[in-house]
């Protein structure tokens, strides 16, 4: 694939695969109420579905990064799409919990390498100044998969039922597999890619070397801190919370999930342009997102009565912006990591947000069950208020991780000759 259209076509195929992966990833969140009824689940039982899926995804990030360094993006994207299609086909047929768990394991495993492969393709095909914006655009378009889940999947689910819905997702996954295999290519080998393909270091050593720079660890904690609030809502607990605790209709709940996704899609290019123009101030967007997310949660959870619809919309808009901000962590990996370890480093960073999301989803499920009568399958607003408050622990851990590693990364940069000037000096020069 050569010529001017080559990069655009490769990127389009990769983005389509990522969009489909997000649909597969979030479809169960739309079907949460149906899953409770189909499998007779408790809150922790339902949470276990997403925890298993995300746990597999997170656990495979670094192995997927190593496979990406060795075999390239085409193999990971096409292979991952096929595995997810098989998982959704199995879920369409499942009528017991063990089978459904195996299906979610397959979805998580197939999903693991797709986004990091798309990011690698952007770095390989496009000039460096355009990479931050294009990574954000990749995330933005991919997150439209949440709208597909919130609208199209919900529509088919309520009209045609469980088996038809997940069977259709399996067929769509097979189609995407074919598109990825035909459309994704790596550019002509460069010195860096030749080195990357030749490197065969041991797993532990490769991970240690990829995570050694403080800037890469800053990327991990940035990715840990910013997306888990949106993931908790989009992937599992949003629809049950809006319907059973806030008294909203399924259509209104779908609209709120769509608003969350639109927020992520709109804010992504803004974050990307900021990152590209102000590479020394990338952590600002991470900390600003963390503070605004905390304010949104406090504003939602302090009152003990259902909130008006407009407030719920503002809430999902604020937390939705955390997804694009998490991709700043991927950009930290790109700029602080050698080319031959970029896949492994990107996988390491991408583990952050899904580790925090696993903890958040599980924490909400456990607290909901502890705060509710035995055998309950629907939960009160007070139980949700208590459960969502547990997210403050993860928020605090993430903030401390960002602040510590930002300080270490700036010290490393200073030793290399790049000093980040204090903001008061920047403002003083602008006024002058």
| Structural domain boundaries in the chain | 5-186+202-417
- Judge whether residue 242 has pLDDT over 90: yes
In our burial notation (b when 16+ CB lie closer than 10 A, e otherwise), range 179-196 reads bbbebbbbeeeeeebeeb
Q: pLDDT (tens digit, 9 = 90+) per residue, 261-274?
A: 888 888 878 887 77
- Judge whether residue 94 has pLDDT over 90: no
Greater model confidence, 206 or 255: 255
Q: What is the mean pLDDT of residues 269-281?
A: 76
pLDDT at 188: 60
* pLDDT-derived band at 318, boundaries 50, 70, 90: very high
- What is d(CA 167, CA 85) in angstroms, rounded to the nearest whole number? 9
- Judge whether residue 359 has pLDDT over 80: yes
pLDDT at 428: 55
pLDDT at 422: 61
Q: Two tokens at 216? A: 């890469």
CA 135, 137, 141, 143 torsion-angle sign: positive
* pLDDT-derived band at 189, boundaries 50, 70, 90: low
- Judge whether residue 1 has pLDDT over 50: no
Q: What fold, for 5-186+202-417?
A: Growth Hormone; Chain: A; (1.20.1250)
Least confident of 35-39, 69-73, 320-324, 419-423: 419-423
pLDDT at 116: 86
Mean pLDDT of the chain: 83
Q: Two tokens at 107? A: 């979805």
Q: What is the mean pLDDT of residues 141-163?
A: 80
pLDDT at 432: 45
> Highest-confidence range of 43-52, 56-65, 104-113, 253-262, by mean pLDDT?
104-113
* pLDDT-derived band at 339, boundaries 50, 70, 90: low
Q: What angle do CA 114, 115, 118 make, to 5 degrees?
A: 90
Please report, for residues 244, 302, 371, 387, the alpha-carbon distance to residue 382 in angstroms, rounded to integers and kept in the order given. Answer: 12, 10, 9, 9
- Judge whether residue 199 has pLDDT over 60: no
Q: What is the mean pLDDT of residues 57-86?
A: 87
Q: What is the mean pLDDT of residues 352-378?
A: 85
pTM > 0.75: no
- Judge whether residue 410 has pLDDT over 70: yes
Q: What is the mean pLDDT of residues 153-169?
A: 84
Greater model confidence, 69 or 192: 69
Greater model confidence, 334 or 104: 104
Percent of all residues in the chain with a pLDDT value above 70, rounded to a whole number: 88
- Judge whether residue 91 has pLDDT over 50: yes
Least confident of 45-54, 87-96, 249-258, 423-432: 423-432
Asked if 68 contacts 113 with a C-beta cutoff of 8 angstroms, the reply is yes
Q: Which helix (H) or strand (E) holds 258?
A: helix 250-277
pLDDT at 277: 73
- Judge whether residue 149 has pLDDT over 90: no
pLDDT at 20: 92
Q: Which helix (H) or strand (E) holds 7?
A: helix 5-30
Q: Two tokens at 149? A: 């889940």
User: Which residues are within 8 A (CB) of 155 and not within 5 positions of it... i.e. 6 or more apart?
Assistant: none
pLDDT at 311: 96
């Amino acid at each position: 694939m050569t010529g001017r259209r080559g990069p655009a076509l490769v990127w389009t195929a990769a983005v389509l695969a990522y969009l489909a992966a997000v649909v597969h990833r979030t479809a169960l969140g739309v079907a949460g109420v149906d899953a409770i009824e189909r499998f007779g689940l408790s809150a922790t039982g339902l949470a276990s579905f997403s925890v298993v899926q995300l746990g597999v995804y997170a656990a495979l990030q670094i192995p997927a990064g190593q496979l990406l360094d060795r075999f390239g993006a085409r193999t990971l994207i096409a292979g991952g799409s096929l595995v997810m299609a098989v998982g959704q086909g199995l879920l369409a047929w499942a009528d017991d919990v063990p089978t459904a768990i195996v299906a979610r394991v397959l979805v998580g495993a197939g999903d693991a390498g797709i986004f990091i492969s798309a990011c690698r393709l952007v770095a390989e095909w496009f000039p460096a100044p355009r990479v931050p914006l294009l990574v954000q655009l990749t995330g933005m378009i991919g997150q439209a998969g949440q709208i597909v889940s919130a609208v199209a999947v919900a529509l088919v689910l309520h009209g045609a039922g469980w088996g038809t819905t997940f069977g259709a997702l399996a067929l769509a996954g097979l189609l995407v597999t074919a598109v990825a295999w035909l459309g994704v290519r790596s550019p002509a080998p460069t010195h860096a890619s030749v080195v990357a393909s030749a490197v065969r270091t041991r797993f532990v050593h490769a991970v240690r070397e990829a995570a050694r720079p403080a800037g890469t660890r800053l990327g991990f904690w940035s990715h840990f801190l910013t997306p888990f609030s949106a993931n908790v809502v989009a992937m599992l607990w949003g629809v049950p919370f809006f319907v059973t605790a806030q008294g909203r209709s399924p259509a209104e709940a779908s609209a709120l999930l769509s608003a969350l996704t639109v927020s992520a899609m709109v804010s992504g290019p803004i974050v990307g342009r900021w990152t590209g123009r102000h590479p020394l101030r990338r952590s600002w967007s991470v900390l600003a997102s963390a503070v605004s997310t905390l304010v949104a949660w406090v504003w939602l959870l302090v009152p003990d009565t259902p909130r008006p619809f407009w407030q719920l919309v503002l809430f999902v808009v604020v937390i939705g912006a955390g997804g694009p901000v998490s991709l700043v962590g991927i950009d930290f990996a790109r700029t602080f990591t050698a080319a031959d370890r970029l896949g492994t480093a990107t996988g390491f960073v991408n583990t952050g947000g899904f580790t925090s999301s696993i903890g958040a989803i599980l924490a909400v499920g456990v607290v909901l069950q502890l705060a509710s009568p035995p055998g309950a399958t629907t939960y009160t607003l007070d139980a949700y208020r208590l459960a969502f408050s547990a997210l403050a622990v993860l928020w605090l851990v993430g903030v401390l991780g960002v602040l510590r590693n930002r300080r270490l990364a700036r010290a490393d940069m200073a030793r290399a000759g790049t000093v980040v000037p204090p903001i008061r000096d920047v403002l003083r020069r602008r006024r002058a």
